[in-house]
Chains A and B, each alone.
Chain A
Amino acid sequence: MVTLTTEPDNESLELESEARVGGYAVSKRSRWPKIIAHAILILSVFVFVSPFIWAFFTSLKPEAEIFASIYQIIPTEPTFENYAKVWVEQPLDRWVMNSLVISTGIVFFTLLLDTMAGYALAKGRFRGRSVTFTLVIGTLVIPPQVVLVPLFIEMNWIGWGNTYWAIMVLFIANPFGTFMMRQFFMTVPDSLIDAARMDGCNTFQIYTRIMLPMAKPALASLTVFTFIFAWGAFLWPLIIINDGAMFPLQVGIALLTGPYTSQWGQLLAAAIMAALPVLTAYLLAQKTFMEGIALSGGGKGQ
Chain B
Amino acid sequence: MPTTTIAGTEVQVDDEGFMTEYDEWNEDIANELASNIGIELSDAHWPILSFLREDYKEQGETPMLRRVANVGGVPTKQLFQLFPKKPAKKMSYIAGVPKPHGCV
Q: Are these two chains actual partners, yes or no?
A: no
Q: A residues touching B (Cβ–Cβ < 8 Å)?
A: none
